[in-house]
Amino acid sequence: MMLATVYKKEIKKMAKVVVIGGGLGGLPTAYELRHLLPKQHQVTLISDRPEFTFIPGLVRVALNLNSLAAIQLNLAELTKRYGIEWILGKVTDFDAETKRITVEENRIVDCDYVAIATGASFAFDAVPGLGPHGGYTHSVCSPNHALAARSAWLKFLENPRHLVVGAMAGVSCFGPAYEFLFMAEWELRRRGLREQVSITFVTPEPYLGHLGLDGLSNSQALTENLMKQRGIQAVTNALITSVDADSIALADGLKLPFEYAMILPAFRGVDFIQKVPGLGNEKGFIPVLPTCEHPEFSSVYALGVSVELPNNKAISGLGLPKTGQMTEAMGLAVTHNIGVKLGASADNLKTPTLEAICFAEFGDTGIVYVAAPVLPDPKTGKRRYSYSLQGRWVNLAKTAFEKYFMLKMKLGWGLPWFEIWALRILFGLSLLKNCDLVEEQAMISFPVESE
């Protein structure tokens, strides 16, 4: 059976569409839904935080290079301005059969469709002593984590000696670790403190620049050369087993002393996903069809970090990155496909291509990574293309993109046509493709590119 025959337009006088999560995936998706759906349909955004935060900017916050306020916007003001109902609170339960969402203090929200864009929770408890909550290491995964990391960083600068940066096993996004590492080294040089500090990078990657992707053209060479130039020691294939007040223990017996450590945690699904039978996998990530729809619950869609992406042998047990651009593309697919169901669009169903670009700021230089698509073809093991480029211009590009992203959130834009056009013209990347020829029995995970 072909997908095009599976869906029937569900013309409703009024439908309630709920987006859970007000971050990089949730807010743009809510905007796109509001733009696409006729006014009689209600769009609701549920967020457990009162602000939208541009999460990639938290590395600079942690190193005291930017204020947190510079990368935050008030959700109450934005949603009111653009006709979106907003609910502040943490989702505590969800009944996928009755389509009822429970928000803390037992507030019940009914919906016809829900798009889950919650991001993830953090598995600090997987390693004794890891994390800012009763542990000895810091993180840049949330605003509160970044603020705590900044306070500790300023104290570290008073008498800096040993700095350790890295990631625990199971991490799915290594970019923030590399950014923090090289930007911290650059900041120490700027302050005339570099010679006082030993810096170690510890990672479960099989080689530097792997990034959970493998085979990303030129990434290993650029990363290793930069490590050598900066005098940074690196430990690859590392498994952190425990952390105490002054050292990080690895499975091979090595101990890394530190006065300051920033270690990224592995992710797992948020609590309510883990509580709903059949909604998520054993780690709380949500399986989806190529349309970003749940295979069992046709009213449930998911995007971003909350999604379970298919495993790939080349990844060697590491998590697969889900970049901000990939998240936005999933949100665009969710919006389009809900619109098709509600009769707001007569186009084909769409699936995200999972083609990704990442600008990484490394102090006085930077590296841009492009993978099209992120998952290689399962038959050939190859991507359509991939590359990595280094230069100061990368930092300028990242700064410009951050300013642009904050502006478009202020203006109520999701993914405007000119941004999609620019990604295609400048980087050869596409976000969506038609999904009408995908066989239903193959729709257990995203399809990958094949020529």
Give the catalytic positions in this structure. Answer: 173, 358
Residue 61, φ and ψ in degrees, nearest 5: -65, -45
CA distance 348 to 336: 9
- Residue 151 Cα to chain centre, angstroms: 25
- Residue 281 Cα to chain centre, angstroms: 18
Instruction: State the residue for tokens 């495993």.
Output: 311
CB 27 within 8 A of CB 49: no
Residue 42 in 3-state DSSP? strand
CA distance 1 to 201: 50
- Residue 134 Cα to chain centre, angstroms: 25
Residue 126 in 3-state DSSP? helix
User: E strands of 290-442, at which residues?
Assistant: 300-302, 350-352, 356-361, 366-372, 385-390, 432-434
Residue 136, φ and ψ in degrees, nearest 5: -120, 0
Segments in 44-174 forming alpha helices (H): 58-62, 75-81, 143-156
Structure token digits, residue 187:
């900041």
Q: What is the DSSP letter of 353?
A: -
CA distance 436 to 441: 13
In 3D, which of 180, 194, 172, 321 has the Cα closest to residue 261? 180
Pairing of strands 366-372, 385-390: antiparallel
Structure token digits, residue 137:
């290491």
Q: Which residues contact 43 (CB under 8 A, 6 or more apart)?
A: 17, 18, 19, 30, 33, 34, 37, 83, 84, 85
